[in-house]
Structures are given as structure tokens and as C-alpha cells.
Copies of this chain bind each other. A is one copy, B any other.
């Protein structure tokens, strides 16, 4: 049965339940927790289901391209894992995560200058769950989390689910602006509100594409140390830089004030959902208790599959291949933007990761334009998804990770056509009314 058919049946059945069912539907609404009121499906979700059709070039999704993974090697490693260690891999495991994997995670983090002990690592169900667990143990409703402007949609969703107040802080081409952070902290503290942490993605930012400069890393750490603000460093793309060696993490210079989040989703594969938190020891203890409450333990099988891959495969060589593929795609996107986009559009050139942040000519609205773009068979994520406060309407996130270079060029060509039409319309009929759109987009894997 096709998904389409299933959905139609689902709808038909819902309707078939008749009036009493609908009354019950209303009564659930009264029962939900306060936090659930903020959980609404994104308006752009329906569009993304259209955007996933093969004829549409999706520059929207953040799915890594894992077609380069050697399926024979992975298949054999997991087959051997089941044969030799199946009774452990299929059993309950430790709430903190597999000890061997936690040692390997320390090896991975060493590439970014982090010296850590496996005992301070907690394995999570992707780093999404890491954001969830950290927020769970730190944030009461009304607590403030400082985020970059823009910030990762999935993290904003978590902060919203825990009823935090997000305060956005300006970025420029060198990443988070220290003076803006200092001001934001001062303003919030003067209001008597509690800042629980700064959430930051220092490398190849999602969605902004920028990287925090070395000087600023020192400065940001100093500001947070002085103001006694914890740093939540989210670093899924750190090993996917296109030039030179990995950049030392914030955590490399500050162990007590930084909670570090890592992930195998972009350096190996997301389907195992293996991420991690490295935290100061006392915090780590709370995280394990939170993990046990959330899942009892992360999947032993996934963890041992990743561990086995790391043991039996040249994972660093594989990451190098990924980097080269993503660099080619970045080059294809930047080349196409340079060749095709109208002069008034602006974008950055990311030094790694998956994303370009594009700002439209004045007067254009990326969210309003999205249906027309999808009609023209190209998709992106409007900038509003990455703000908790409705800003970002003039911008969009373009992903170069998943489509081929050729498709990327075609996507940019179609997008340029849509933008040029919008500009023409604007010249003819004047600027469209722009709404500041409140609220955030619920995260899903399209928006990763």
C-alpha cells in the first residue's frame, strides 16, 4: 500500500469516527501540558512533502549524502558484530552508553584539541537528544537561552518545548559578535532573568554557514566565564571543514564552562542516531539520570554498530572523501550563485559543512516566495525557521549537501528565475506587505 493511499485511508477513517470522535478531539486539547501548546506543525511542512518529489531540486534538506559509504564493509562489520557479540548488542546496555564507543568518541574529539575522559561522555540518540537532555536538566519555563541569530531550528524547537525564552544574538562573517553577546547578557541580567546557557554552533554554522574566528573563540569564552554563563557547544560539522586541519573546539580551552555536543550523523551516518555530550562530571551524572528516564539506555545495537565501523574501517579516510564531495558541491553552489543571482542578493562562502545563507534583495520575502519556488521545482528553508522571534523573512538557507553538483546548479538557476520574477512584480506593483511571522518551525529531518 502506498503512503499516499495510507494517508487517504487514514483521513477517511478519521472522518468516519463521526461527531463523538470530534468531541473527544476537543477534550484532548484541554488536557495537554502548557508546553504542548507551542507544539504545532510547521506551515511549510506541507510544502516539503511536495518538495520531496523527484522533479523538485531540494536545497532545503540537511540530509548528508551517504552514498559514498562502503555498504559491503558496513554490512560485514554488523554481521560479524551479531555473530560474535550479538547477546550484548541486542541486550539492554548502560544508560551512559557503551564504554568502548565512549573511548572512541574521545579519540574523535582529540582531533579538535579536546582531551576528555570516557567517563565524562554520555551517548545520546543523535545530538538532537543531547540538546533535549541538557535543556531538560537546566531549564525551567521562562529561563533564557542565548542563541545565535539565526540558529539551528531543531535546537529552537527544544528550547520552545521546555518553555525557555530565546534571546538571539547577532552574527557576522566571523560568527557570533562578542560585543553583541556582552550586551545581550547585560540586558537579560539587568532584567533579573536567569541565563541558563549560550547555545552556539561555532563551526560551519547551521544555517548561517559561518565559522567563529580564533580570536573570537577566546573572547566569547572570556565573556561567558566572567558572566558565569555556561556554553553549549554544538559541533556536528567540525570535521567537515574544506581547508586545513580541524579547528580547536571551544571545549578544548575550557572544560568546566563548556558542554560539548558531537554526532556521528554527518561523519558516518544519521540512521544509527548516535550522538554524545561531553560534560563536566557533575553535569554528566545528571545527564545519565535524565537519559535513563528518557530511554533507559541508548540503543546498544546502534552504538556497537558505530563502534565496529570505527574499528574496522578507515573512518578518517572516509571523512576526507565526504569533505571533498561536500567541497565540490559547495563550489558548485557558490559558482552558480556568482554566475546567476541578481546583484542585490547576498550570500556567504562557507568553509565547511552543508549550508549557505542567502539574503534576498530588499523587499522580497523568502517565506512568501516559497510556494512559487516549489512550483518552479526548487525548494529551500525560509530564514524565519531559524529565529524564535519571527525575523529572517528576507533570508533563506540553501543546502548543498544532498543534491549533485549538476542538480545544485539547476536548482540555483530555477531559484534565480523565481527571484527575478519577484523583483519584476515588485517593480510593477510595488513592495508586497511583509509580515513578521511569530513562532518557530517544528524541526523535522527535512530541516536538520
* Residues of A bordering B, CB below 8 Å: 1, 3, 6-7, 9-10, 13-14, 17, 20-21, 24-25, 27-29, 31-36, 39-41, 63-64, 66-67, 69, 71-72, 74-76, 78-80, 82-83, 86-95, 99, 103, 117-120, 125-126, 128-129, 132, 136-140, 143, 154, 157-158, 160-162, 196, 228, 230, 256-257, 265, 269-273, 280-283, 285-286, 289-290, 292-302, 305, 442-445, 448
Contacts and interface: CB of A to CB of B under 8 A. Distances in A.
Nearest to A41: B289
A444 B285 CA distance: 13
A272 B299 contact: yes
A137 B29 CA distance: 10
A154 B125 CA distance: 18
Contacts of A67: 87
A90 B87 CA distance: 22
A162 B140 CA distance: 11
A92 B256 contact: no
A95 B305 contact: no
A21 B120 CA distance: 14
Nearest to A79: B79
Assembly of this chain: how many copies? Answer: 2
Nearest to A290: B39
Given A117-B10, A302-B299, A34 B269 contact: no
Contacts of A299: 125, 271-273, 299, 302
Contacts of A80: 75
Contact of A75 (B82, B88, B273): B82
Nearest to A9: B117
Contacts of A443: 292-293, 296
A66 B91 contact: yes
A154 B86 contact: no
Contacts of A118: 6
Contacts of A3: 99
A301 B305 contact: yes
A66 B256 CA distance: 42
Contacts of A41: 285, 289
